[in-house]
Amino acid sequence: MQYRGIAAAPGYALGTAFLLQEKEIPVIKQNIAAEDTGAEIDRLEKALCQAIREIEKIQEETRQKLGDDKAAIFAAHIMLLTDPEYIGNIKQKIVAEAINAEAAVKEVTDHFLNMFACIEDEYLRERAADLRDVSQRLLKRLQGIQSVDLADIAENVILCAHDLTPSDTAQLDRNKVVGFVTNSGGRTSHSAIMARSLEIPAVVGLMDITAKVRPGDFVIVDGNEGTVFINPPNELIEQYREKKAQFIKRQKEAKKLVNEPSITLDGTKVELVANIGNPEDAKWAVANGAEGIGLFRTEFLYMGRNELPSEEEQFEAYKTVVTMFGAQRPIVIRTLDIGGDKELSYMDMPKEKNPFLGYRAIRLCLDRPEIFKTQLRAILRASAYGNIKLMYPMIATLQELRAANQILEAAKQELASENIPFNTAMEVGIMVEIPAVAVLADQFATEVDFFSIGTNDLIQYTMAADRMNEKVSYLYQPFNPAVLRLIQGVIAAAHKAGKWVGMCGEMAGDLAAIPILLGMGLDEFSMSANAILPARALLRQLTQKDAQRIAQAVLKMDDAKEIRDFVEQAVSAIVTLR
């Protein structure tokens, strides 16, 4: 039987199914006497101390196995267990409602998880896994429940679970667990990120794979295509053994390209840069040969706290990333992209019927210039230390762009009057994620230094289909001819005006899309760090002329699947001939 999910970590794995079925921790709400609430808080404090000690142990093991950047995930877990808002609300509920600690933990956690569930941004939405992981650990300590120790698995297996927490994933022994599959999760979940670090093939979001597989079944995990096979025929097993051998060979070759330029066989140079969500991600980007940062999401500075970040705090975060890459490498910082779908407890934001098209990103920033200017000042100050480029998200009109630039100019004047250094020639660009901007790209190109095409939103807005809605997810088509023509138009308009164009959506790291985008003339490809080396290896096997021929051919086609299949076949033929 074959099942399709989300390709979370590349590679191929073949092995015996190990079914991990941790039961949901039962929480019974109990009323306690008012005079006993102090003792209940003491019980909570004891459980918190135990949980923190466990996480610190996992953190150290992860540091030794994967490095500081991946161990930082658990620093975030410890921060949650010491967070005044999260823990404070639990304690307050125990006292105010005179209930047991378990019930208070569950109710407060559920409240925050519901908030995360409404967030559109996949990266931020997946951070709910951290909170769920931490809360489950805390409940286990309160109830004295022992966790399953995944390090004790005695044979090479395919781990099958409803979900894997970051703590679970960190404890996996890759000599024993050769792959994993889960019912839930996405590409940006911490378990997926760590699976890529551990180089364990993984497929997530399979909905009900734990109901389909039985312990001892033979399972194939295709982490490239997002498919899982249960008890496949011998011919397919042999095919995948060969695929696995070839994949391992290609991976070894790709790792030799960490310090090599991203250049085609006929000398066309492009930039392969990384998307990051915080300074820790930048370390992983450097290790994977990123030539800079094409999208620095700044929302992490605003989430999981009780107040807005200060200018100084933001400045230090931006400066940290610049320092990692050096003075010349480009660092594209996206200004705050938060709003109706990303609630912050300390900001009074209206409830909206359609927050994805509502009060968010640049719209919020222009309405609250004091918040916006603080961030702009921090970015400008950091620009004195390297090649920072500023990018506005969710721009829809030229008037919005001009209004944002007016606030930027005011921030520059303030810094100049205070004798604070900044790069007066810092480049300023916009994300092209709204079709209206793509259509008028020629007009916008005269007022910006660069474009960065945000394909995740551009595709869903062009196709009028919510990419998170399973009922219409079939319409989320990166290779749809309408989407490709919009992209082509944006690149052509920018180049005519002498401006460069990047792309920071998932499409930029799709190996089937790269030849098309290269052929259209895309200058910069920004992707997840683990996609950089495979992309570089592909680019170095193509010529610009190859890519132009492919792009010209697909722009005449009328079907997304036909286009993807054509590109894959064309590239395979080119690489085979060489």
Q: Is 433 one of the annotated binding-site residues?
A: yes
The per-residue pLDDT for 476 is 85
- Cα distance between residue 224 and residue 353, in whole Å: 37
- For 332-387, what is each residue's pLDDT tens digit? 999 999 864 556 667 777 777 776 788 889 999 999 999 999 999 999 999 999 99
Task: Tell me the mean pLDDT in the region 539-547.
Answer: 96
Using alpha carbons, select from 315, 379, 330, 261 the residue that is nearest to residue 526: 330
**Contacts for 518 with CB less than 8 Å, ≥ 6 apart:** 264, 268, 270, 539, 542, 544, 547, 551
Which domains are present in the chain?
1-23+150-232 (3.50.30.10), 26-143 (1.10.274.10), 265-577 (3.20.20.60)
Active site residues per annotation: 190, 504
Q: Is 467 one of the annotated binding-site residues?
A: yes
∠ Cα 527 530 534 (to 5°): 85
24-28, 248-252, 268-272: range with highest mean pLDDT: 268-272
Q: Where are the alpha helices (DSSP H) in 471-559?
A: 481-496, 514-520, 532-539, 544-554
Burial environment of residue 460 by CB neighbours within 10 A (0 to 12, 13 to 18, 19 or more): buried
Which residues does residue 219 pair with via DSSP β-bridges, in sequence order? Answer: 15, 230
Q: Give the alpha-carbon dihedral of 228, 233, 237, 239, to 10 degrees.
A: -100
- Whether 59 and 71 have beta carbons less than 8 Å apart is answered as yes
Q: Which residue has the tokens 């930048």?
A: 282
- List the structure tokens of 539: 């680019």
- For 242-262, what is each residue's pLDDT tens digit? 999 999 988 888 889 999 999
Confidence of residue 151 (pLDDT cuts 50, 70, 90): low
Between these two residues, 120 and 172, which has the higher pLDDT value?
Answer: 172
> How many angstroms separate the first and last alpha carbons of the chain?
36
- List the structure tokens of 59: 């953190």
Q: Is 43 one of the annotated binding-site residues?
A: no
Q: How is residue 124 annotated by DSSP?
A: H
